[in-house]
Each structure stands twice: as structure tokens, then as C-alpha cells.
């Protein structure tokens, strides 16, 4: 146990006041830049959310199709305890309900797909194209009908969290059922208009991803500096 006497006897080394100020000023500038980067991301996310809400307002459309009629939908067959947090050769992305991507030595599907967590408090999709593994309680939407763009469905699904929350079942952990996905109404619009939507939204999402990468670099830089400046 630590006592007051032990703490009092600890010895610390400090640079002179001028150097302390330089260090503090530099770290403060870096923290301000991180805060600015976070605001940039928040603005872009607000922009794409507003655009999606406007573009996919169901009151604008009079023709719909069921998601189950234009796609294949399946849940996974793997468990998180078999997954690795680090990548090595011969491993494939493993998706579960967490935001972190894990890895498995085998894959379930080699498809362009929309991936959904099957349980949780919120239900937002991921887009992936390639070989991947899937948790038992996650769903993949794939083999989309040729008159529907997968990215169009992905952006539309990003606006449907309230639908999935409303239709989730379970008293302790909210869970989604296959039928909930199959019954989802999709605005049936021409493929060329779908591509126009996708082109616009893709540009904004790319900016969001790029700015999140920049944010991660700034945060890594701050951690590195703090760990080395105070040795």
C-alpha cells in the first residue's frame, strides 16, 4: 500500500520553466488540432446523415420492394472466441457486433455484402467486398439483384436504425431475426439514379474515412510524445 510518507519521498526531475512552457504549448497546440479534427469529422457525419435522410425519405417514393426479394441474407457460423485480434497471412476479416475487425483462418463468403450486427442497442451496416467470416449473430446481405446497387442499399440501410431497433426482440439483449431483414421496404428507383446517389455519398464517406485516419495519426503522435517527453 502507498502511504503519504512514501509519496512525499518520491523524487521527480523537471526541466527549467522555459522548457516546461515550450512542452506545454506544443502539446496544447496538438490537442487543439485533435479537437478541430474531431469537429471536422462531426460536421461531415452530420452532412451525410442529413443527405441520407433527405434522399431516402420514404414519403418521396411510391414504389418499394422487400429486401428479401432482391437479395440473399444469412447469418454467420463462427464464434468470437476463435478469432484473433491481429492479422497474419492466410487470415480473413471476421465481423461481429463490435467496431473492431478481428480475423479468422477461414472465410464464410466471398461476396460484395452489407454486414449487420444481429444484437445490440443500435443497428448500423458495414460494407465489405471480398472474403470474410461472420459471427453467428451477424447477418450478411449479398447477391443483390442486378437492378439494385449494393452501395445504394448500404446507404439506405444506414437510415434504418429506428426500424431495426423497433423490430428487435429480446428482454435483456435486443436481437434481430432474419424475417426483419426480409421485410424491410427498399425504395425502387432506376439504377442510374441509384448510382447518382452513391457517387455523391461515396465522396463524403471517403472524406470521413480520410479524416478519421488523420485523427488517429494525431492521437498516436500525442501518445508517443507524452510517453517520451516525461521519461
Rounded to whole angstroms, how far apart are CA atoms 198 and 101?
Answer: 24
121 vs 71, more confident: 71
- Rounded distance, CA 47 to CA 208, Å? 10
Tell me if 109 sits within 8 A of 142, measured CB to CB.
Answer: yes
pTM of the model: 0.84
Task: Report the pLDDT value the prediction gives residue 83, as an integer from 0 to 100.
Answer: 84
- What pLDDT is stored for residue 39 in this prediction? 98
Judge contact between 33 and 218, C-beta under 8 A: yes
Q: What is the pLDDT of residue 44?
A: 97
CA–CA dist 185, 207 (Å, integer): 29
Distance CA 157, CA 217 (A): 30
Contact 131/110 with Cβ under 8 angstroms?
yes
Q: Count Cβ atoms below 10 Å from residue 202 Cβ, excluding itself.
A: 14
**For 65-110, how does the pLDDT look when each residue is reduced to its tens digit (9 = 90+)?**
999 999 999 999 888 787 888 888 889 999 988 888 899 999 999 9
**DSSP string for residues in 107-152:** -SEEEEEEEEESBSS----EEEEEEEEEBTTEEEEES--TTS-HHH
Report which of 98, 105, 179 is spatially closest to residue 115, judged by C-alpha positions. Answer: 98
Amino acid at each position: 500500500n502507498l502511504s503519504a510518507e512514501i509519496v512525499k519521498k518520491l523524487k521527480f526531475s523537471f526541466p527549467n520553466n522555459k522548457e516546461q512552457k515550450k512542452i506545454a504549448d506544443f502539446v496544447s497546440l496538438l490537442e487543439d488540432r485533435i479537437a478541430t479534427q474531431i469537429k471536422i469529422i462531426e460536421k461531415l457525419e452530420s452532412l451525410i446523415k442529413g443527405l441520407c435522410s433527405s434522399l431516402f425519405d420514404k414519403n418521396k417514393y411510391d414504389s418499394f420492394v422487400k429486401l428479401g426479394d432482391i437479395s440473399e441474407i444469412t447469418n454467420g457460423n463462427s464464434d468470437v472466441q476463435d478469432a484473433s485480434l491481429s492479422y497474419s497471412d492466410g487470415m480473413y476479416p471476421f465481423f461481429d457486433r463490435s467496431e473492431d475487425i478481428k480475423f479468422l483462418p477461414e472465410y464464410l463468403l466471398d461476396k460484395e455484402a452489407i454486414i449487420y450486427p444481429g444484437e445490440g442497442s443500435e443497428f448500423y451496416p458495414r460494407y465489405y467486398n471480398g472474403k470474410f467470416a461472420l459471427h453467428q449473430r451477424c447477418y450478411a446481405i449479398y447477391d443483390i439483384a442486378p437492378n439494385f446497387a449494393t452501395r445504394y442499399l448500404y446507404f439506405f440501410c444506414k437510415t434504418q436504425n429506428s426500424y431495426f431497433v423497433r423490430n428487435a426482440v429480446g428482454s435483456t439483449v435486443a436481437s434481430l431475426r432474419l424475417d426483419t431483414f426480409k421485410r424491410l421496404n427498399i425504395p425502387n428507383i432506376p439504377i442510374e439514379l441509384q448510382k447518382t446517389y452513391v457517387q455523391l455519398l461515396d465522396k463524403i464517406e471517403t472524406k470521413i474515412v480520410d479524416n478519421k485516419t488523420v485523427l488517429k495519426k494525431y492521437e498516436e503522435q500525442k501518445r508517443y510524445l507524452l510517453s517520451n517527453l516525461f521519461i
